[in-house]
Structure 1
Amino acid sequence: MRYLKKGESVSVLEETNSYWLQVRDASGQIGYISSSSKYVNLTAGPTEVADAPAPVNAANAVIVAGVSFRTAPSTSGERMRYLQKDELVTVTSQVNDYWYAVTDANGQTGYVSTSSKYIKLTGGIAASEGGGSTLESGGSSSEGSSSSEAADAPAPVNAANAVIVAGVSFRTAPSTSGERMRYLQKDELVTVTSQVNSYWYAVTDASGQSGYVSTSSQYIRLTGDIPAPAGGGSGSELSSTPSSAPGSSGNAEAPAGSDEPARPSASAQVESVIEAGMKYLGTPYEYGSSRSTTTTFDCSDFVRQAFKDALGVTLPADSASQGEYVLDKSQVTTDWKQLKRGDLIFFMSYKGTSASLYQSKDPFNTRISHVGIYLGDGQVLHTYSNESGGVRVNSIQGRHWEYRFLYGGSAL
């Protein structure tokens, strides 16, 4: 809105989190400023905002990990901001199995995932007046299957009657030529709506998305009966696409004789990415490098190429977009010591070698300028300049890399 001037007095209305203060200037305008002592000197405690409505209920939940705060109970709802770990909120209602309606400390109302990965209830949810319905009705999607956000879809018609035993392709047709929409994850609950043939089930996931998976007991286990099709008769296919027996071009997800290998474990995928990245050690650095060649890399191009070579996964083309991708894909951490091998690790711009230069950083609102692959034991595989030798391994601890670190998490 504007720069506050040195010597200007403001009223601190609230400490929003560890990084930001809500303040009101002499003209009555309300906004947010950094809480860093470099910029503001508190002379008294925060004052009450007389004209701001207090939240209806006391806080009854705490944020466990950074999570999207949306305008609607769906991943198609606009993300207003990320609620931060340890932030207190008030859950005013549970819209459905996937979404809470919540109010933050500023009185802003929105929606967050009900997943225990993101939020923990510390008190009861107040009953709506008159026993009415929740804030918003209608089908909405879950914020995450295996920590990633699912697409907006109607609720499934039937209760779950199967559990995924190991990661398996979720396809658009009952054939390996059908496009893979995503991998269903181990322990994910699904509804088998019919058995297309000996090799394929038609299933609906928790977000209401329909597709096909292998009938192999390596990948899926029935926990209930498959519903009979309406009007009797045999099970009908969701798609008219013909399916094939094992060994043909349309075989199922790695049954005996299949030519499609089983999906490697998460740890095997991590090692494949790291191995692919390590083969580029010493490759020269070039800012804005071409994504169609491996003769030079910038940081995000290098990470992208390692995933592409190892897994056939194409990540976004720049570090900021890769950061958004990881935020939507997995639970992230702002403590680099909690990172896991193979996590992507994101940094802000270089300001110098002193830790004090980075005290005002806001992990989820500071611009990402660099990315690397975490190897464990405080080591990062990345590239940032020709002078440093191109693709290389650096230690994080006690160096500007530690001070610049914003957050990290898995892209798998």
Structure 2
Amino acid sequence: MRRSLMIAVAASMLATAIPLSAGAAVKEGAAQIVSSVSFRTAPSTSSAVMRYLKSGETVAVLEKTNSYWYKVRDASGQTGYVSSSLSYLKLVSAPTETADTSANAVIVAGVNFRKSPSASGERIRYLQKNEKVTVTSKVNGYWYAATDANGVSGYVSTSSSYIKLTGTIPDGGSSAGSGSSNSGSTGSGSTGSGSAGSGSPADVAAQVEAVIAAGMKYLGTPYEYGSDRSTTATFDCSDFVRQAFKDALGIALPSDSAAQGAYVREKSTVTTDWKQLKRGDLMFFMDYKGTSASLYENKSPFGTKISHVGIYLGDGQILQTYSKTSGGVRIDSLEGRHWEYRFLFGGSAL
């Protein structure tokens, strides 16, 4: 009891010792780390890990960046980002939202934030559901120029599937609550799976984005081998993929990675070259043997046992979960890593 009281007091002192940032969307609070968690340079599982925050540490919560991340400051004064999952962090005093006078739009589903108004434009990052952005102009019927909460400028789809205006645009664009009804495929940069999907390419692209958005909302969810398929508290690799398709499209994929691989092979044309995959395709892998490419030279793409599955995001990145120590659901790069060497085949489940 005494130790808990001391922690709470220390957290309170730490929170009050740090001034509010200019333009902060929330009034800072305090939190206690309940399980070791990555302390990152940016609100993304693909960003650099500065160190691991340990159980019992207290941090000042500067802002709630989105549904998945808090911006925090540790006792040494270092600022970074940590998962908002209750598995890792317990709020001692919750951050209080204040009015944001600059933002005029809110993200309603995960969407690409690009450097140019084109589906082939370089992606800056993914804007997450519930993030607030400032739309500075409407470039055309398909793209908004926007600035995120960190002051980074880029372009985002005008599709109402991804963004909702909550105020007016400086150049006299659409009014609050409106949004383009154009297909979200423009903003997503997807051209569909290129394999089996039903409907037009735009329909398939929208389905792909829905699946990815559904998966992205689980970033940071803990890993558990053989996880309970009836809950979303934890996932193993195939359970996570299955849940994303179920949430987005109501599709019930098989429960294990090997069966999912067989399903995809029956459903679509698969490829053994991951660089030929399309956004939203499923990727299947063999067992981990080490980090050297030579360890996987004798693999048989369709004869080797499948032990892992993930969702390809494009640009050499995969959305997946594979261990407790890695932090649960996350985004990883493929090229030059064991993921590239272990890859067996991939294709669309649509």
TM-score w.r.t. the length of structure 2 is 0.44
Whose helix proportion is higher, 1 or 2? Answer: 2
TM-score w.r.t. the length of structure 1 is 0.39
